[in-house]
């Protein structure tokens, strides 16, 4: 077993991507970001799309920089559900759709009604989300691209194919599609057929830690990574983020907080009860066959879209957060999981409309509106984690809040206050760390997942937030938005 090695993580988020290198030793994990780039969707006559080839160009640029650190392996993680279609020759058919595109409006409810909501949840264990891959396929039923397709690859698998020439589906991301059987953890051909696609469209599954293949010759030559291989990691970014949580023991909850907030528990098995379906919880795969029992919440998308509507960027956020801290508490609250906030555009106006519809005043000033958003997110975190613990019969002693939201001290403190348990914030780059951890273990560096999480605890920056403030006020606020 090697004493140390370096790995490269390609980590693609919904608004930005990065290439990170990690140097592992027996008591060492040094993480260095070597390339960062924007991820901007494309509005085309056919709807909202991802610039997949542009992202691939940025990945190659980042790997060229990473080559200077001599990584032995590359792992790729990205968001879930969206896919590209390949023809029999491996050519990309069209531009992959963005999950915020409106083409699935109404499709999900019709499909669920036809298949049966209880039967569908029993098969795939997924939270009802209109953009789940199974619904995207149903929306594309009969399209020219789907008729011509030989293979469907989720975004990280598509990039892996371009790097290696290997068509494979990584299991944690496959579990978000609605096409995987929650019990057998294999593809469910009847669900694929019900969506109007051929089961042969789906490639074989690989698990985190398995080797995908060596880089193609032209790729190795262009990047300077001769000899490096692509290793399957937890390619769903949330699965990688959970793998990167610096947990000690099993009585923890997590919030992977970025564009989305994914709040839940790591469990040994799925929970597919009627109560879990009614509470809209999802069961997705994690590393080592664990289940990520969680709920999707809109997350910092609400903040990002407010900034965009105001013509501001992240540089304005510190001042707005100071204004939010001074604003009146609980003046107005929204449901941070409301699908009305899914689409881009005019977010402050839509928040205002939601408040007026529930008889609440619209906050005056940007700081006050931001406080409304952050308090609502904290309450959504509270409800998701409390309900998950109740449904799973699991106590939660600490909540790990990882991702970009770990930088937001107000959100971290208010999440602790709302829940009444400590919040341990960080690492900010938990997704990249989790990606790197899986590669390191596959290469024989370090030990099991528990050992690698211990390494994360001792090498990565975190900050502890202890509950404070008026617990009764948070309870009253929760009752106003109908949560626990």
Q: Quote the distance between the C-alpha of residue 183 and its chain's center.
A: 22
Question: Is residue 94 left, alpha or beta, with left meaning phi > 0 and alpha meaning psi from -120 to 50?
Answer: left
Distance in angstroms (rounded) separating the CA atoms of residues 329 and 57: 46
Catalytic residue among 237, 335, 383, 417: 237
Q: Which of 201, 157, 164, 208 is nearest to 185 (CA)?
A: 208
Question: Is residue 230 left, alpha or beta, with left meaning phi > 0 and alpha meaning psi from -120 to 50?
Answer: beta
Q: Which of 209, 229, 98 is nearest to 164 (CA)?
A: 229
Q: Tell me whether residue 364 is exposed, middle or buried, using C-beta atoms within 10 angstroms of its C-beta: 0 to 12, 13 to 18, 19 or more.
A: exposed
Only one residue has tokens 């953009």, namely 131
Residue pair 477/385 in contact (Cβ under 8 Å)? The answer is no
Active-site residue, 383 included: no
Tell me the two tokens of residue 143.
């399209």
Which string of DSSP letters, residue by residue, matches 137-150? HHHTTT-HHHHH-S
Only one residue has tokens 């060492």, namely 28
Only one residue has tokens 């490269």, namely 8
Residues in the chain: 484
Return contacts of 450-458, CB within 8 angstroms, 24+ apart.
453/245, 453/246, 453/247, 453/248, 454/248, 455/24, 455/27, 455/29, 456/29, 456/244, 456/245, 456/246, 456/427, 457/246, 457/248, 458/27
Whole-Å CA distances, 463 to 242, 401, 422, 460: 17, 10, 10, 10
Question: What are the residue numbers of the active site?
Answer: 237
């Amino acid at each position: 077993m090697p004493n140390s090695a370096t790995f490269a993580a390609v980590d693609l988020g919904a608004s930005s991507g990065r290439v990170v290198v990690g140097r592992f030793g027996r008591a060492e994990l040094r993480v260095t970001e070597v390339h960062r780039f924007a991820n901007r969707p494309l509005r085309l006559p056919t709807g909202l799309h991802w610039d997949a080839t542009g992202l691939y160009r940025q990945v190659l640029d980042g790997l060229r920089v990473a080559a200077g650190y001599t990584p032995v392996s590359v792992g790729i993680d990205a968001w879930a559900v969206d896919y590209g279609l390949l023809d029999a020759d491996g050519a990309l058919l069209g531009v992959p759709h963005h999950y915020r595109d409106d083409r699935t409006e109404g499709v999900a409810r019709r499909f669920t009604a036809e298949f049966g909501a209880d039967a569908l949840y029993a098969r795939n264990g997924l939270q009802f989300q209109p953009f789940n891959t199974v619904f995207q396929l149903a929306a594309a039923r009969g399209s020219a691209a789907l008729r011509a397709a030989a293979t469907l690859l989720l975004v990280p698998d598509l990039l892996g194919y371009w790097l290696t020439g290997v068509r494979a589906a990584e299991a944690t991301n496959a579990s978000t599609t609605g096409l995987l059987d929650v019990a057998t953890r294999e593809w469910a051909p009847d669900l694929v057929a019900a969506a109007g696609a051929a089961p042969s469209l789906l490639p074989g599954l690989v698990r985190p830690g398995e080797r995908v293949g060596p880089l193609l010759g032209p790729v190795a030559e262009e990047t300077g990574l001769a000899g490096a291989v692509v290793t399957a990691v937890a390619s769903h970014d949330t699965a990688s983020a959970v793998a990167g949580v610096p947990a000690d023991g099993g009585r923890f909850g997590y919030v992977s907080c970025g564009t989305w907030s994914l709040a839940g528990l790591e469990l040994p098995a799925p929970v597919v009860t009627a109560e879990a379906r009614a509470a809209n919880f999802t069961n997705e795969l994690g590393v080592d066959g664990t289940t990520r029992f969680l709920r999707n919440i809109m997350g910092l998308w609400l903040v990002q879209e407010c900034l965009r509507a105001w013509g501001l960027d992240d540089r304005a956020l510190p001042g707005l957060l100071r204004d939010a801290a001074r604003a009146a508490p609980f003046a107005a609250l929204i449901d941070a999981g409301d699908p009305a906030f899914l689409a881009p555009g005019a977010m402050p106006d839509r928040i205002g409309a939601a408040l007026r519809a529930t008889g609440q005043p619209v906050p005056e000033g940007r700081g006050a509106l931001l406080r409304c958003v952050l308090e609502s997110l904290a309450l959504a975190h509270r409800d998701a984690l409390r309900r998950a613990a109740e449904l799973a019969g699991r106590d939660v002693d600490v909540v790990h809040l990882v991702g970009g939201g770990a930088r937001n001290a107000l959100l971290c403190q208010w999440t602790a206050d709302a829940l009444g348990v400590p919040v341990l914030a960080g690492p900010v780059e938990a997704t990249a760390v989790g990606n790197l951890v899986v590669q390191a273990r596959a290469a024989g560096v370090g030990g099991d997942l528990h050992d690698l999480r211990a390494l994360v605890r001792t090498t990565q920056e975190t900050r502890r937030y202890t509950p404070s403030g008026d617990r009764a006020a948070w309870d009253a606020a929760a009752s106003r938005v109908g949560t626990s």
